[in-house]
Structure 1
Amino acid sequence: MSDDQLDDPSLAEVLVHGPRPVWVTLREYDPSWPLRFEARAEQLREVLGERATLVEHIGSTAVPGLAAKPTVDIVVGIEDPDDEAAYLPDLEAAGYDLRVREPQHRCLRTGEPDEPVNLHCYPPGHPEVRKYLLFRDRLRSDPADRQLYESAKRVLADREWADMNYYAEAKQPVIDAILARAGWPRDQRWLTAEGGSVG
């Protein structure tokens, strides 16, 4: 998301609570992150049942050895995220707060401040889901790209951003380059709001 998009009045229609200043701090990789994912994944499967056609750990906390914000990112496959009545009340009852509403994408948050989780709901075959998994798997398997991404994040960390989307946008050139090496077409960028580029 570009600065122009962030300043656009229509942003209020996407970011449910509006832009929020955030201080970005990285932590060294913590082996408890996958355990936190597993606990949340089990909860999501119980809450959503067959409506959750996919539950995957994505973002930097899903990459062993990679420093990250201590926020566990999860993508859940929901056949029609725009049909909020079919799943959103159950997620809200489980403590998730809707933060982003975009066509075919909802982002929710829970666990603040101690064990934050971003939950991205997409149709299971959505291109963003494929990108999340491709990017995660590339970082897991390629030490050079993992180090490149961590270095880029360290340059951008330890400061406040007007909104998480500014931080995500600042990482975008490195993400695009890594995705291209992993086989994703360069002209298809990661465009989702708040956490579109996770980790």
Structure 2
Amino acid sequence: MPTPEQITRHDDSPPPDGLSPWVGEYRPRTDIRVVDPDPAWPERFATLAARIRTALGDRALVVEHIGSTSVAGLPAKPIIDVGLIVADSADEEAYLPDLEREGFTLVVREPWWQEHRCLAHDDPKCNLHVFGPDAAEPVRQRMFRDWLLTHPDDLALYRDTKREAAAAANAAGEHVMQYNARKQQVIREIYDRAFRAAGLLPAE
């Protein structure tokens, strides 16, 4: 299990010199679309979760809906984010070939950041984030999702921030990682409120 210090640390984790997280020809997308909430998103997640569990069986320790499409009422890019925990995300041979047979493609490999792997799927569109049991990021993702589900003021703040960031990024011809950077300050403020409420950070 990750420690409170690991969970509450805001870690940019840039790649070491000379290394890239992108696999093959994949690169981050431009033309960022943030759309209104779609009631079909939970069903699309269920379809993806079934495919992942079919592929991996009990090797899929956790499969959960994360990101903006998991929060009712929140606009999002129309791509389902799925969190997958396996015994060892660095051991790609233990899970990647079976996921590839279900239509997933490895697009990001970040051994320097909690051994994160990301796979893409086209139908339904999905980003599948793979971590091991000791990674802090899945805990952070879950806390952020659950906080927004129960705190409408922060949901509204994040909604407006997403739309403004997408408009600014598109106007500047930026890609999705630059769009994410435009949201970063507000995201971290929301995270810290959730961490304080959970007793992981001291009160202000």
Report the TM-score, using the length of structure 1 for normalisation. Answer: 0.83
Residues 1:49 and 2:49 aligned together = no
Unpaired segments ≥5 residues, structure 2: 1-10
Residues 1:177 and 2:192 aligned together = no
- Return the offset for 1:161: 4.8
- Say if 2:28 and 2:177, in contact at 8 Å, map to a contact too: no
- Say if 2:83 and 2:129, in contact at 8 Å, map to a contact too: yes
Deviations 1:41-87 (A, max 9, x none): 11111111011000010000000011111110000011101101111
User: Equivalent of 1:168, from 180, 184, 189?
Assistant: 180
Q: Helix, strand or coil: the match of 1:37?
A: helix
- Return the offset for 1:163: 3.0
Identify the residue that residue 145 of structure 2 maps to in structure 1.
136
Letter in 2 for 1:93: R
Deviations 1:81-126 (A, max 9, x none): 11011110111111111111012211000116xx310000101341
Identify the residue that residue 152 of structure 1 maps to in structure 2.
161
Letter in 1 for 2:136: P
User: Equivalent of 2:118, from 107, 121, 125?
Assistant: 107
Kindly tell me the number of residue pairs found equivalent between the two proteins: 181
Q: Helix, strand or coil: the match of 1:48?
A: helix
Give the distance between the partners of 1:139 and 1:117, measured in 2 at CA: 21
Letter in 1 for 2:106: L
- Say if 2:32 and 2:175, in contact at 8 Å, map to a contact too: no
Give the distance between the partners of 1:93 and 1:87, measured in 2 at CA: 10
- Return the offset for 1:173: 0.7
Report the TM-score, using the length of structure 2 for normalisation. Answer: 0.81
Name segments (4+ residues, structure 1) moved above 6 Å: none
Letter in 2 for 1:152: T
Identify the residue that residue 86 of structure 2 maps to in structure 1.
78
- Say if 1:98 and 1:106, in contact at 8 Å, map to a contact too: yes
User: Equivalent of 2:105, from 97, 101, 107?
Assistant: 97
Identify the residue that residue 30 of structure 2 maps to in structure 1.
22
Q: Helix, strand or coil: the match of 2:195?
A: coil
Answer with 1 or 2: which has the greater Rg. 2
Letter in 2 for 1:117: C
Give the distance between the partners of 2:62 and 2:30, measured in 1 at CA: 29
What does 1:22-41 align with in structure 2 at a 5 Å threshold?
Answer: 22-41=30-49
- Say if 2:45 and 2:65, in contact at 8 Å, map to a contact too: yes
Give the distance between the partners of 1:169 and 1:18, measured in 2 at CA: 20
- Return the offset for 1:129: 0.4
Identity of aligned residues (%): 40
- Say if 2:66 and 2:82, in contact at 8 Å, map to a contact too: yes
